Amino acid sequence: MSYKCSRCKRDVQLDEYGGVRCPYCGHRVLLKERSASSRKQTSSDPVAAESGPHSVELGFEFSTTERAETVGAAVRVEVNEVEDSRATVSVTRRGPTVVVEIEAADLHALRAGINSWTRLIDTAENTPPGH
């Protein structure tokens, strides 16, 4: 699969054993590349171009599967607590990686979702075990 690192903006190819991490800068937030046809604007109206749906898949890799499960479980309880009619979120785990998928009606809601869920993962990751 083709991804783009959200920090260094380089193209990243992932295989099933490489984990979710940019090989160039080590960042763990990779954006899924979309085909040109899925990005094609159907209107010259900038408001229409912003309307969705838009989606992103964020992957956060941890040192162990157990740590990924702990962090994933900690943030998964927030999925139904965040009331937003413009975005939906799912949190899953693939081995040592927590995957957050966000679908939004517009770019503003997508950006807000990325910021919120990245902060939630960061908070859960930096909370000492047992707290």
Asked if residue 84 is part of any domain, the answer here is yes
Average pLDDT over residues 114-127: 90
Q: What is the pLDDT of residues 44-56, one digit of tens each?
A: 445 544 666 899 9
Asked if residue 34 is part of any domain, the answer here is no
- The per-residue pLDDT for 120 is 92
**Could you write out the three-class secondary structure of 18-86?**
CCCCCCCCCCCCEEECCCHHHHCCCCCCHHHHHEEEEEEEEEEECCCHHHHHHHHHHHHCCCCCCCCCC
Mean pLDDT over the full length of the chain: 80
Average pLDDT over residues 11-22: 74
Note if the pTM is more than 0.85.
no
Asked if residue 25 is part of any domain, the answer here is no
Average pLDDT over residues 12-26: 76
- The per-residue pLDDT for 39 is 45
Which CATH number covers residue 116?
3.30.310.50
Torsion over CA: 111, 112, 113, 117 (sign): positive
Q: What is the pLDDT of residues 46-84, one digit of tens each?
A: 554 466 689 999 999 998 999 999 999 999 988 877 667
More confidently predicted of 33 and 31: 31
Average pLDDT over residues 90-108: 92
> Into how many domains does the chain fold?
1
Domain that holds residue 121: 51-125
